[in-house]
Amino acid sequence: MAGPWVGSWRPHPRRGPILAEFATPGPKYWLPGTTGHTAHDPTRYRAPAYSFRGTKCPAATSCSPGPRYFIHSSITKTGKHIAPSAHVTSRPKTKMGVTPGPSDYTTDNANKHVYQTAPASSMKFRPKDLKGFRTPGPGTYTLPRVLGPQTVNTHAEPCYSMKWKSLYQSCFQDLAKTPGPAAFANVDMDVYKKSAPKYTM
C-alpha cells in the first residue's frame, strides 16, 4: 500500500533487502564454484577428476592371525633366548694341560705372506772379522787446491800477491839494536858545499 506524497516523491514498499541494512557489503551475490563437479561454473573449463580406489581385499593365502596371541619375551628371531643359569651338578673334572699362551706366538713374519706389502730393504749386520778393517780413514787424503795458480783440475786466473811491509823504522823493530845519533861523525861542510879559499905557509 502506497503512502502519502512527500513533495514530488511518493514512498512505496520495497521489493528486497537494501545495502543499508548490512554493516559490510557482504555476500550481495553468489557465483558458482570452479572446483569440484557439484555446482561447477558452466562458463569455466572443468578438468577431468580421478578418485582414489579403495583397498583390495586381502587374499586368503596372506591372511594371518595377527597379534591375537601372546608371544613370550624370550622368543627371538633366532630362537628362544635362555639366560645363563648355574647347574646343580658339580663341575666336570678335566685334566689341566700345560699349553702355550698367546704371547708364545708371533705373527709378524707371517704378515708379509698374507698381506701385500711394498718392497722393503733391510740393513744387514756388520760381519765379524778376525782382523779389523785396515783401510785409511777420511783424514788420510788431501784434496787438491781449488784456488791459486797451482790447481789440478781448474783454470787459474792471474794472481797477484802483496809484498810484506818492511820492518825498517817500524814499531815492531827493536830500536835498541839500531845506531844512535852519536854513532855517526860530523861530515865536513866542504864535502857538500863550496869550499872557501885556503892558504898555507
Q: Per residue in 76-114, pLDDT tens? A: 888 888 877 776 777 778 877 788 888 887 766 777 777
Residue type, 156: A
CB 53 within 8 A of CB 47: no
Distance CA 139, CA 90 (A): 83
Q: Write out pLDDT tens, residues 6-64.
A: 888 887 777 777 767 767 655 666 788 888 778 888 888 888 877 777 777 766 666 66
State the average pLDDT over residues 136-142: 82
* Percent of the chain that is helix, strand, coil (3-state, to 5): 10, 5, 85
Cα–Cα separations (whole angstroms), residue 101 to 96, 106, 136: 14, 11, 53
Dihedral of the alpha carbons of 100, 101, 102, 105, in degrees to the nearest 10: -30
